[in-house]
Amino acid sequence: MSELEIIIGLEVHIQLTNLETKLFCRCGNHYRGKEPNSLVCPICLGYPGSLPVLNRKAVEFATRLALALNCEINEEFFFFRKNYFYPDLPKGFQISQYNKAGGKAFADGGYIEIKIGSQPKKISLNRIHLEEDPARMIHQGSIASSPYSLVDYNRSGVALIEIVSEPDLRSPEEAREYLNQLKSIIQYTGIADLDLEGSCRVDANVSLKGHPRSEVKNITSFKEVERALKWEIQRHKNVLKRGKELVQETRHWDDTRRLTISLRTKEFEKDYRYFPEEDLVPIVLEQSFIQQVKDDLPEMPTERKKRFQKDYDLPEFNAEILVIDKNIADFFEETVNSNDDFTSADFNQICNWLMGDISRWLNENNTNITQTQLTPELLSELVILINQGKITGKIAKTFIDAMMSGESPKKLIKKTGKQRISDEKVIRKIVKEVIENNQDIVKDYIRNPKAIQALIGKCMAKTKGQADPKITRDIMKEELEKSLQ
């Protein structure tokens, strides 16, 4: 059986975490770490007689995102009610937008450009819309076995934006790339910090070409998406391999067991009875308002990439990776601008440190650069020390861990005693020892000149990485030639 084409569309819900208040009331928006049910009022608790009032800042944020995603904004629209019973929904309906029944999304169309290998690919968007978050349910262990459900209404009424893609994604990897780019754009617009726990949720529509699709709900982080998609696609393939038929259904991603569970099939789809929310008047966005938001829109990653290539002589590939995380890109710019003497070689070196060792450290520690004690001044100091020949790149690498906690490279030289060895006599002595003790490698070298690397490595190990790599290589070559004559 030939491989069937994979078709994926994503519905991403993001909280507008950078708002000060909720979408329809004035309760505080920053609920994380707050005592449960302390950020509530009659409106977000859905008390009888209370009415919603739209947060204008949320509309501005949605406009920013719509512009950043190249969407077409609907200048006039109204909200809908999505009706269903659940303990997390105090009104019995969610105020949302709807693009059927005479309704309109906040904005239609748009796209996100991703790279597949080195090939650019445009992923089309269907629409984005504004809606309110339900309350947060807390269980003891899994929802099925918990003897109780607790409801924290602090989250009830927090503003969400839903971003719906077209089914343009062809693999879990493309989905990951798409989410990375989306996250980057959102970070640049300043509307949300998606590193906050629970700030994004994804529903994925998955199918193999020509077969019914399933909708996987409740993927609670971007990182889980790729995993859930891989699992679900494999499930589809397995069903077909066994000669069975797939059915259109809604499935739930269980992130502890890491598998999807069927929730309901098509004939049991919920009927949300969408209809207009008459408690809110139709929203009209003036052209002047949209223009103002456009004028105030911060630089987006694509433009920044181009500027980095031009202003700092970075190769396209590097510039692209560097700008993805706005914090890293900001850090880069601050570092390069901290010293007037830095040249394009230094810019590239700074870029490499940020993309390489520092990003790796951030990943391993699951944090972002603003959460660390590393400063542009410290990184700048490190680069200057390397340039001055005080330390080697190898030594510098060993400093990164301590620098992330705010230690200065100068102090680290003193503390560890590590510095560059450039004295030819010292290095020649070590080289000779290495040649003497590793005659088998030397023999190998006659047939395979690449074996020199192994010998240089031995020197580095002996000096704990302090020997200047260039000088060591030159002397090693000299001594090898001598010993073979």
The residue ranges that bind Zn ion (CB under 5 A) are 25, 27, 41, 43-44
Q: Would you call 306 helix, strand, or coil by DSSP?
A: helix
Return the closest-CA partner of residue 255 out of 300, 200, 218, 203.
Answer: 218
In one-letter notation, the amino acid at residue 150 is L
In one-letter notation, the amino acid at residue 48 is P
Q: Is 48 in the site for other proteins (CB under 8 A)?
A: yes
For residues 66 and 74, the answer to whether their CB atoms sit within 8 Å is no
In the complex, what is the shortest distance from the CB of residue 18 to Zn ion, in angstroms, rounded to a whole number?
Answer: 18
CA pair distance 441, 446, nearest whole angstrom? 9
For the record, the structure tokens of 162 come out as: 């839903």
Question: Residue 12 touches which of other proteins, Zn ion, none (CB < 5 to 8 A by kind)?
Answer: none
Binding mask 149-188 for other proteins (x = CB under 8 A): x-x-------------------------------------
- The smaller minimum CB distance to other proteins, of residues 279 and 316, is found at 279
Return the closest-CA partner of residue 27 out of 59, 48, 55, 64.
Answer: 55
Give the H or E element holding residue 228. helix 222-241
Please select the residue that binds other proteins; options are 5, 20, 72, 279, rule is CB under 8 A.
279
- The smaller minimum CB distance to Zn ion, of residues 51 and 446, is found at 51
Question: Residue 1 touches which of other proteins, Zn ion, none (CB < 5 to 8 A by kind)?
Answer: none
- The smaller minimum CB distance to Zn ion, of residues 27 and 351, is found at 27
In the complex, what is the shortest distance from the CB of residue 47 to other proteins, in angstroms, rounded to a whole number?
Answer: 7
Question: Residue 51 touches which of other proteins, Zn ion, none (CB < 5 to 8 A by kind)?
Answer: other proteins
Pairing of strands 119-132, 159-165: antiparallel
Q: Is 93 in the site for other proteins (CB under 8 A)?
A: yes
For the record, the structure tokens of 225 come out as: 């998406």
In the complex, what is the shortest distance from the CB of residue 9 to other proteins, in angstroms, rounded to a whole number?
Answer: 22
- The smaller minimum CB distance to other proteins, of residues 282 and 389, is found at 282
Q: Is 265 in the site for other proteins (CB under 8 A)?
A: no
Phi (first) and psi of residue 83, to 5 degrees = -95, 125
200 forms beta bridges with: 14
Q: Tell me which stretch binds other proteins (CB under 8 A): 80-88, 235-243, 325-333, 387-395.
A: 80-88
CA pair distance 187, 301, nearest whole angstrom? 10
12 forms beta bridges with: 163, 202
In the complex, what is the shortest distance from the CB of residue 112 to other proteins, in angstroms, rounded to a whole number?
Answer: 32
Q: Would you call 435 helix, strand, or coil by DSSP?
A: helix
Please select the residue that binds other proteins; options are 28, 46, 109, 167, rule is CB under 8 A.
46
Q: Is 278 in the site for other proteins (CB under 8 A)?
A: yes
Q: Is 99 in the site for other proteins (CB under 8 A)?
A: no
Return the closest-CA partner of residue 467 out of 435, 438, 424.
Answer: 424
Return the closest-CA partner of residue 133 out of 19, 56, 283, 280.
Answer: 19
Question: Residue 46 touches which of Zn ion, other proteins, none (CB < 5 to 8 A by kind)?
Answer: other proteins
Please select the residue that binds other proteins; options are 231, 275, 289, 361, rule is CB under 8 A.
275
Q: Is 85 in the site for other proteins (CB under 8 A)?
A: yes
Sheet of 80-83, strand order = 93-96, 80-83, 275-276
Q: What residue ranges bind other proteins (CB under 8 A)?
A: 42, 45-54, 81, 83, 85, 87, 90-93, 101-102, 149, 151, 271, 273, 275, 278-281
